[in-house]
Amino acid sequence: MSELKNLRGSGELTIEATVEELYLCLMKLHSYEKQANELMYRIPIYRPTPFFEIKISDLNEQVKKELDARWAYKNEIDYILKEAVGRIFRNINERYFLLSVKPLLQVRLVP
C-alpha cells in the first residue's frame, strides 16, 4: 500500500491510485457494471448524452476522502471519475468503448 502513497508522504493517494481505488469500489457493486452495459450502446446515439451516475453513498471512506481533497480541482475529479468508469466499459467491449463511447462519456456523482 505504501507504493500507492504520493511522494509528499501526506497520506493522500496519487491520482492513478485514486482511479484504481474508485474502480475497485465500483466493481464490488454489480449495479455499476449493469449500468455500463445499459449505457454502452446508448451513449453514442442518445441526445442528450446520458450520464453514468455514481452514488456517493456507494463509495468507501477512502475514496470519498480523496475526492473531497481534490474537489477544488475539477480537471482531476473529471479525470478520476472518467478513468475509473472507463475501465468498467473496457471490460465489456474495449474496442467499441475506445472508438465510440470514450469521447462522449460523462460521469456525475449523485446523492
Give CATH for domain 14-110: 3.30.1640.10
Q: Tell me: the pLDDT tens digits for 25-82?
A: 999 999 999 999 999 999 999 999 999 999 999 999 999 999 999 888 999 999 999 9
Could you tell me if 12 and 68 are in contact, meaning their C-beta atoms sit under 8 angstroms apart? no
pLDDT at 89 (0 to 100):
98
Structural domain boundaries in the chain: 14-110
How far apart, in whole angstroms, are the C-alpha atoms of residue 90 and residue 85?
9
pLDDT at 72 (0 to 100):
85
Confidence of residue 11 (pLDDT cuts 50, 70, 90): low
Could you tell me if 110 and 54 are in contact, meaning their C-beta atoms sit under 8 angstroms apart? yes
Could you tell me if 26 and 85 are in contact, meaning their C-beta atoms sit under 8 angstroms apart? yes
CA terminus-to-terminus distance, the chain: 29
Could you tell me if 107 and 51 are in contact, meaning their C-beta atoms sit under 8 angstroms apart? yes
Checking if the pLDDT of 9 tops 60, the result is no
